């Protein structure tokens, strides 16, 4: 026993010695400085960079851009490009873009868009309610607790994934763009969110103070006192939500409970539709549009494949579904995605669009930029390492709607419909190589019928619950 303790102590001391901080001495500094050899290449690169801060632009391999064409063997019949402007609503735009072909067919129009402003209003309102409920639920925890810190840090934000749109559609429906058009604040959400987050932090603080005051001298088993506390905190929450609603209504307008929509169809006929948002949603959503039929599949090499994961509390409505995904190898995801495209069904997809991409040219290639040759350093990491070091992760959602294949019907390139307007990419579209798919694609939402039998069976598992602050999102 003594020997075991002695050995453990030696290991601890050794670890401490290795981890101890050491300054750079003259010998080490001379070694480091001596490694910077001013050969012809180094001098040329130095002369360039001393006068130009654009490293990325200098490392772009133009041959990669020129090699990629924008013609596709298989392409979903989509029409229209949207623009999310200065907002983080890509997940909402993409989810709606996936429904747009159904709406165009239903109402016989070639041009159509949903009101993103309408759903954005309810998204932020519901996120505010969820935040306040989380504050109430954790009011007894110390304010430095990891969970409490996570909620307080950012009460509401633009970001989201497909399940958030599903939650909104099921509860509030959707409306045509003309019914509730964009406003200055829906197109540029920064100041609105900043104001609301400042207010919600205050409201959350007030609720925690209320909890502390009312529980200071009350025994835990005092049922009446507990009921009075719950009622008081609920009252405080409702008062806060009234203010949130006011700010949203001032900046975005009030959402309609019913509407009249006039439009001209492809026959040149003027048609009038009277509806509620829920009724309109029911008219345009696909058959069996639910998380049991349309599931999210993910390529996350940091975790076991053929397992289902649930990110706790990642939703916008209290009663809504969390972000749940089935983790699959890339080759399985590609096979399913190609089937969906061949069936003329686009998919919600998200990726790390900022990596190895040229948005102006509308091309993504895994070797788009050669930093290594230009700077003389090694930057190579595999997808797992990039995720775990927080260098890479899903940053943007787009509609996956085209695939080109070789003579054996194996994918060589794919295409997104983006939501950055027609001036971005090639008319609003972004083409990416199959290798880029492997490295920087993360998740798609797809009809389960396009998955293989093994994946369908795996989707039936009870999800492994991940914390709200999980690195994958």
Q: Which residues pair with 59 in a beta bridge?
A: none
Residue 167: which of 298, 319, 276 has the closest Cα?
A: 319
Name the residue among 425, 444, 260, 442 with its Cα closest to residue 339. Answer: 444
Residues across the chain: 473
Q: Which helix (H) or strand (E) holds 129?
A: helix 116-137
What is the residue-wise DSSP string for 281-323? HHHHSPTT-STTTEEEEE--TTS-TTEEEEETT-SSSTTS--E
Look up residue 460 and give its two tokens: 């039936």
CB of 308 closer than 8 Å to CB of 458: yes
Parallel, antiparallel, or unpaired for β 441-447 and 294-298? antiparallel
| Token pair recorded at residue 35 | 């490694």
Strands (E), 276-426: 294-298, 307-311, 323-327, 347-351, 357-358, 363-364, 396-405, 411-417
Could you list the active site residues? 90, 396, 418
């Amino acid at each position: 026993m003594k020997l075991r303790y002695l050995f453990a102590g030696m290991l601890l001391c050794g670890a401490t010695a290795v981890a101890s901080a050491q300054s750079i001495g003259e010998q080490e500094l001379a070694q480091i400085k001596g490694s910077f050899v001013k050969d012809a290449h180094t001098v040329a690169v130095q002369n360039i960079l001393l006068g130009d801060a654009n490293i990325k632009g200098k490392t772009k391999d133009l041959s990669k851009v020129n090699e990629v064409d924008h013609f596709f063997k298989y392409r979903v019949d989509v029409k229209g490009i949207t623009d999310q402007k200065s907002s983080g609503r890509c997940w909402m735009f993409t989810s709606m873009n996936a429904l747009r072909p159904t709406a165009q067919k239903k109402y016989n129009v070639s041009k159509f868009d949903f009101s993103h402003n309408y759903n954005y209003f309810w998204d932020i309102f519901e996120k505010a309610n969820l935040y306040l409920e989380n504050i109430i639920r954790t009011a007894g925890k110390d304010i430095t607790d990891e969970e409490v810190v996570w909620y307080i840090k950012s009460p509401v934000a633009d970001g989201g994934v497909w399940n958030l749109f599903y939650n909104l559609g099921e509860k509030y429906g959707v409306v045509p763009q003309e019914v509730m058009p964009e406003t200055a604040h829906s197109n540029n959400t920064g100041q609105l969110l900043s104001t609301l987050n400042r207010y919600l932090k205050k409201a959350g603080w007030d609720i925690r103070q209320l909890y502390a005051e009312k529980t200071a001298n009350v025994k835990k088993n005092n049922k009446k006192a507990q009921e009075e506390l719950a009622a008081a905190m609920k009252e405080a929450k409702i008062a806060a939500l009234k203010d949130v609603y006011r700010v949203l209504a001032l900046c975005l307008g009030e959402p309609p409970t019913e509407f009249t929509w006039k439009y001209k169809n492809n026959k040149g006929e003027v048609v009038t539709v009277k509806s509620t948002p829920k009724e309109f949603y029911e008219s345009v959503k696909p058959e069996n549009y639910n998380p049991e039929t349309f599931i999210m599949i993910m390529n996350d090499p940091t975790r076991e494949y053929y397992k289902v994961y649930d990110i706790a509390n990642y939703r916008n409505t209290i009663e809504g579904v969390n972000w749940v995904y089935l983790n699959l190898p890339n080759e399985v995801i590609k096979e399913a995605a190609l089937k969906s495209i061949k069936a003329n069904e686009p998919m919600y997809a998200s990726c790390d669009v900022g990596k190895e991409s040229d948005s102006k040219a509308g091309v993504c290639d895994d070797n788009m930029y050669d930093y290594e040759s230009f700077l003389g350093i090694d930057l190579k990491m595999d997808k797992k390492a990039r995720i775990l070091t927080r260098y890479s992760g899903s940053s943007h959602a787009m509609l996956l709607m085209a695939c080109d294949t070789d003579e054996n019907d194996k994918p060589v390139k794919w295409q997104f419909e983006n939501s950055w307007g027609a001036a971005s990419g090639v008319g609003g579209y972004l083409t990416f190589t199959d290798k880029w798919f492997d490295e920087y694609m993360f998740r798609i939402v797809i009809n389960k019928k396009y998955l293989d039998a093994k994946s369908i069976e795996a989707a039936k598992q009870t999800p492994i619950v991940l914390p709200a602050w999980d690195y994958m999102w």
